[in-house]
Amino acid sequence: MADEPLELGEISFSDWHAHTDKMTEVGFLTIARRLPALVGQAMRMAWRASPRDTAATIGFNLAGGIFTAFGLLATTGVLDALFREGPTPDRVRAALPSLALVAVAAALRTVTQAAAGWAQSRLDPQVSRLTEERLYGLTSRVPLAAYDDPDFHDALQRARMRGVSMADVVVMTAIDVMTALVGIAAVAGVLGVLHPVLLPLLLLAVLPDAWAAVRSARMRYTTMYSLIPASRRKWIIAELLADRSPAAEVRSFTMRGFLLRMYDAVARAEQEVMLRLARRQTVARLVGEALGGLGSGLVYLALGLLLAFGALPLAVARTAVLAIRQGQMSLSNLMYATNRLYEEGLYFTDFLDFCADAERRISESRPTAAPTAFEEIRADDVTFTYPGAESPALRGVTVTINKGEVVAFVGENGSGKSTLAKILSGLYEPEGGTVTWDGLDVSQVPPDELRLATAVIAQDHTRWPLTARYNITMGTDKGEPALVSAAEVAGADEVIAELPHGYRTLLDRRFKDGHELSGGQWQRIAVARGFHRDAPLLICDEPTAALDARAEHALFERIRHHSEGRTVLLITHRLASVRYADRIYVLDHGKVVEEGTHQQLMAVEGLYADLYTLQAQAYR
């Protein structure tokens, strides 16, 4: 089996560069045009995070540039005094005032740079917090159906893995760009005062480096963008190899070798792409440095000619050399910062694009108040298709649920039971048809308000790494009596009694003093969670999947006895549990094919009768 070809699903090595066309038109002019927008976005985010620290950072950097220019001009006075004719002591004394100004300018520049660094170090964590809050605020608000969209997942992956972490880097680099521009402006002002011809020479020395930086950034982003599916697949396989949940099956089915082969296949292909990137970037840097060296030689040749023809005094020429070196340093910093800002800005743009897409997915404000109770819930001709699916999950479904009823949805896997329940509770919005609570279209009410009127006991419940108390209350505060009552109804009080710290026990063994529950114990906690919600609509989606026969029977008895005043929607494959339901809907391939009580459906001798008879025969 070692030579068996691997099926890597969405990973096709020939498709790894499917997104490279996104960068094919990017050149230096594109970066130059986009740079102001990137700086503006970064500064707006910084200002939202902390106006005071943003203003301080920019202000201190501007002051540093002013002191740089002042120091260079004062240097001209020092050199002019030292190179004039006369005794050396007299020349030194003549240079002292200018030398003092140079020292003062240097000291002030050092102080302002330190102050700017301090303000910026305060700004970075505030930007990170603001960005993370925005991302997770949106991911927790987008419609549930978005998580069934592969494009949404890819965009979310880019935003989480690089976009969020690049926010503070983009702000920092944008400030570096502004600082370098201030330094260049200061040097350019000095050179303009000394001799206008010196200004073009400044550009000649650094343009080749700028080209190489832009070229390298484009190569890297193109490669990293195309490798996102591979990175995600590597992460998934790594989780299978290192996470606790699949650890038992990895060993039971001796999957270690197979998973390592799959990981190695993806990792090697990714490695080859990165090695090719390194070679291409090295070539670009070498070409840029060679052209940069040629440019620097031309600069000094031009200065020599100006001196030879008497166009520049010697003192001014020396100051010009210092200014050009300072300008080269500032321009080099600008090119580096611009390169990094553009490269990281592309990842930051992924974050902004994701946020914009998530905001478009979030429904607009709905002023109609959601009902806190109901007499009737009705779905009329509801259709729904999952993103990317070829066929609909629901096809023209119509159901009615009255207050106080126990209604069951039954059917084979994939028939649409859970999807219909999520639509009735407002988790999904139908593509066609309507869902009404007492005649009020739920598409007109805020989703979160509607969800407060529903409680869900799910088969695939989340095992929250929180205390037992929070696993039941879910952050609500209804008091100790409500907590104890919900636990008793669900039988979770027996589970809590065995925990070392009772309701304060952390239910996750990965943490110190954490405790692990069995599947059945977790199921009781999830049931208690649903009862604690105390909502008029209780949805039980395979609530007994992890329970033994005795616990299952006890749970259904509790649901029947404690459902007074509530409406219970029961979804289950165990048809013996739905015999006493007030009404049963049988779904098949997204359609309601039968409706009635247990006796009525058995008399019809249709799909329900077939399924019930098959299960009953197993117990005879």
For residue 303, give Cα distances in angstroms to 307, 316, 321.
6, 11, 8
Of all helices (H) and strands (E), which one includes residue 401? Answer: strand 394-402
With a CB cutoff of 8 Å and minimum separation 6, the contacts of 475 are: none
Asked if 53 and 123 touch (Cβ cutoff 8 Å), the reply is: yes
The neighbour count for residue 469, using CB atoms within 10 Å, is 17
Among candidate residues 541, 559, 527, the one with its CA nearest the CA of residue 420: 541
Domain extent listing, the chain: 13-360, 368-453+535-620, 467-532
| Torsion sign, CA atoms 499, 503, 506, 507 | positive
Asked if 266 and 8 touch (Cβ cutoff 8 Å), the reply is: yes
For 406, the 3-state DSSP assignment is strand
Q: Which residue has the tokens 């030689």?
A: 297
* Residues 378-387: tens digit of each pLDDT: 999 999 998 8
For 600, the 3-state DSSP assignment is helix
Asked if 345 and 170 touch (Cβ cutoff 8 Å), the reply is: yes
Q: What one-character DSSP code corresponds to residue 400?
A: E
Asked if 530 and 457 touch (Cβ cutoff 8 Å), the reply is: yes
Q: What one-character DSSP code corresponds to residue 86?
A: S
**Residue 80 pLDDT:** 62
Asked if 558 and 490 touch (Cβ cutoff 8 Å), the reply is: yes
Choosing among 3.20.20.70, 1.20.140.70, 1.20.1560.10, 1.10.10.10, the CATH entry for 13-360 is 1.20.1560.10
**Residue 544 pLDDT:** 67
Instruction: Please state, in angstroms and rounded to a whole number, the distance separating the CA atoms of residues 197 and 72.
Output: 18
- For residue 578, the number of C-alpha atoms closer than 13 Å in the C-beta half-sphere is 34
**Residue 19 pLDDT:** 37
For residue 147, give Cα distances in angstroms to 155, 369, 429.
11, 27, 14
Instruction: Please state, in angstroms and rounded to a whole number, the distance separating the CA atoms of residues 458 and 10.
Output: 30
Instruction: Please state, in angstroms and rounded to a whole number, the distance separating the CA atoms of residues 445 and 449.
Output: 7
**Residue 90 pLDDT:** 65
Sequence length of the chain is 620
Asked if 408 and 572 touch (Cβ cutoff 8 Å), the reply is: yes
**Residue 272 pLDDT:** 84
Where would I find the H helices in 389-437?
A: 417-424
| Torsion sign, CA atoms 589, 591, 594, 596 | positive
Same fold, 13-360 and 368-453+535-620: no
Instruction: Please state, in angstroms and rounded to a whole number, the distance separating the CA atoms of residues 90 and 95.
Output: 9
**Residue 20 pLDDT:** 42
How many H-runs (helices) and E-runs (strands) does the chain carry?
19, 10
For 309, the 3-state DSSP assignment is coil
Phi, psi of 280 (to 5 degrees): -65, -40
With a CB cutoff of 8 Å and minimum separation 6, the contacts of 549 are: none
Sheet of 583-588: strand order equals: 454-458, 537-541, 567-571, 406-411, 583-588, 591-596
**Residue 95 pLDDT:** 66
Q: Which residues of the chain have pLDDT under 50?
A: 1, 9-25
**Residue 63 pLDDT:** 86
Q: Which residue has the tokens 């037992």?
A: 468
Instruction: Please state, in angstroms and rounded to a whole number, the distance separating the CA atoms of residues 423 and 386.
Output: 12
**Residue 381 pLDDT:** 92
Instruction: Please state, in angstroms and rounded to a whole number, the distance separating the CA atoms of residues 176 and 24.
Output: 27
**Residue 562 pLDDT:** 65
Among candidate residues 535, 564, 567, the one with its CA nearest the CA of residue 452: 535
Instruction: Report long-range pairs for 266-275 (Cβ below 8 Å, ≥24 apart).
Output: 266/8, 266/11, 266/230, 266/233, 266/234, 266/237, 267/234, 269/13, 269/16, 269/230, 270/227, 270/230, 270/231, 270/234, 273/16, 273/223, 273/226, 273/227, 274/223
Write the single-letter amino acid at 543: P
Tell me, yes or no, if the pTM score tops 0.75.
no
**Residue 564 pLDDT:** 67
Among candidate residues 378, 411, 440, 393, the one with its CA nearest the CA of residue 567: 378
Write the single-letter amino acid at 75: T
Sheet of 394-402: strand order equals: 394-402, 376-384, 432-437, 440-441
- Classified by CATH at the fold level, domain 368-453+535-620 comes out as Rossmann fold (3.40.50)
**Residue 314 pLDDT:** 66
Instruction: Please state, in angstroms and rounded to a whole number, the distance separating the CA atoms of residues 191 and 202.
Output: 9
Largest CA distance in the chain: 124
Q: Which residue has the tokens 């954490």?
A: 514
**Residue 214 pLDDT:** 67
With a CB cutoff of 8 Å and minimum separation 6, the contacts of 498 are: none
* Residues 206-228: tens digit of each pLDDT: 677 666 766 776 677 677 777 77
**Residue 82 pLDDT:** 54
User: What tokens appear for 354 in the block?
Assistant: 């994701």
Instruction: Please state, in angstroms and rounded to a whole number, the distance separating the CA atoms of residues 396 and 432.
Output: 8
Of all helices (H) and strands (E), which one includes residue 41? Answer: helix 28-49
User: What tokens appear for 228 in the block?
Assistant: 């996102």
Of all helices (H) and strands (E), which one includes residue 14? Answer: none
For 213, the 3-state DSSP assignment is helix
Asked if 453 and 535 touch (Cβ cutoff 8 Å), the reply is: yes
